[in-house]
Amino acid sequence: MTIRQAKRDDVPFIVEMLANDDLGKLREDYQEPLPEKYYSAFENIDNDPNQELMVMVTPENKIIGTLQLSFIQYLTYQGGIRAQIEAVRVHEDYRGEGIGKRLFLWAIERSKEKGAHVVQLTTDKKRPDALKFYKALGFRDSHEGMKLHIQ
């Protein structure tokens, strides 16, 4: 299995995975044809050098996992870079096979290559299994996160 940068043709498969869990189905609009807003978002991500939308594919080129890695430049930490991991999903047929771990290990190594001093993520409190998974990878809940949904 390989990890590569996502292509426009991958967008429906990515959105299908994003929508295929209890929380994702409440916030995504997966349908065929896929709404244009997803392709517009993909173009913005793809054209931003600080964004990397990745997919894991089988040798048969089936997409079985995805994540987005964002690099955020700060003035703090002496002008450091933070890597933010978002939208991690593994295809339901491949869960429990180490795909998520491989995606995260790739993202951590990529963050090191880009000179990031920290890798961070957020997870919904309604995802206790995800929290255990992240802790097993070495992530610590060192900060309290807050969100304000404005739309």
Say how far apart CA 28 and CA 18 lie, in whole Å. Answer: 7
Q: What is the pLDDT of residue 26?
A: 82
Q: What is the pLDDT of residue 126?
A: 86
Provide mean pLDDT across the span 89-110.
Answer: 96
What residues are paired with 41 via a beta bridge?
none
Q: Which domains does the chain have, with CATH numbers?
A: 2-136 (3.40.630.30)
Q: What is the pLDDT of residue 51?
A: 98
Least confident piece of the model among 3-12, 57-66, 110-119, 129-138: 129-138
Binning pLDDT at 50, 70 and 90, where does residue 35 land?
very high
Look up the pTM and report it: 0.92
Binning pLDDT at 50, 70 and 90, where does residue 144 land?
confident
Say how far apart CA 134 and CA 141 lie, in whole Å. Answer: 9
